[in-house]
């Protein structure tokens, strides 16, 4: 019996689907994570490009959009255990070029940019309340890294009872092994896995039916 057979036999891997009101979160697609000399590499740059296509579709359909940035105080006073594991993250301060959202995905007025010091977009932030205020029931997730901040965000999203969709070609990691392994695991337990093209088709299909 293969690994996937074990999951199927135990009832994992079902679809949670889309609800009536989706939102998009773009996790940590900042300059530092698009730079292999800092925190990037792997398939992150390709995921940024694909996320741009989905972002454009969401904007056409007035889908709520949020971005996350990792931002630490200039003096490092809010750096915790995460920065013991990865000390380089402390360079991601408010004004640091590495902490700025990549130009290709530059936020527009009315789109929520939240700062965080931990992996999840939800931990220690107002993100859940913002989603509730927008009457969101489904969270589409892109960003990096698949095995880190994306995964943490996805687990918290599901824990808050949002239907969760991981955009498989819109998330990236500096190493492809952790990327693939975490996509598999999230798909079995926490989220639906769809490509950007599949998500766009869903969004545009809903819009056409509504007319």
- The residues assigned a catalytic role are 149
- Report the alpha-carbon distance of residue 90 to residue 75 in Å, rounded: 9
Q: Could you tell me the CA-to-CA distances from 135 to 19, 45, 65, 162 in Å, in that order?
A: 11, 31, 13, 11
Please tell me the chain's helix, strand, coil percentages from 3-state DSSP, rounded to the nearest 5: 45, 20, 35
Output the six-digit token pair for 209: 């039916």
Residue written as tokens 């999951």?
7
- Report the alpha-carbon distance of residue 150 to residue 3 in Å, rounded: 23
- Report the alpha-carbon distance of residue 29 to residue 144 in Å, rounded: 6
Q: How far is CA 87 from the centre of its chain?
A: 22
């Amino acid at each position: 019996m293969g690994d996937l057979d074990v999951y199927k036999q135990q009832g994992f891997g079902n679809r949670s689907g889309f609800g009536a009101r989706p939102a998009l979160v773009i996790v940590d697609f900042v300059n530092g994570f698009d730079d292999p000399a800092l925190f990037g590499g792997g398939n992150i740059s390709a995921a940024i490009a694909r996320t741009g296509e989905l972002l454009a579709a969401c904007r056409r359909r007035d889908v709520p959009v949020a971005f996350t940035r990792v931002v630490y105080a200039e003096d490092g006073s809010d750096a915790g255990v995460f920065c013991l594991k990865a000390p380089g993250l402390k360079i991601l301060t408010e004004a640091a070029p590495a902490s700025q959202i990549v130009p290709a995905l530059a936020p527009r007025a009315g789109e929520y940019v939240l700062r965080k010091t931990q992996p999840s977009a939800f931990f220690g932030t107002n993100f859940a309340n913002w989603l509730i205020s927008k009457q969101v029931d489904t969270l589409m997730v892109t960003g990096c890294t698949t095995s880190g901040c994306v995964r943490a965000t996805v687990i918290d999203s599901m824990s808050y009872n949002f239907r969760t969709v991981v955009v498989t070609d819109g998330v990236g990691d500096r190493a492809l092994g952790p990327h693939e392994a975490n996509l598999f695991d999230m798909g079995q337990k926490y989220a639906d896995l769809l490509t950007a093209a599949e998500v766009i088709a869903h969004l545009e299909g809903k819009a056409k039916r509504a007319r």
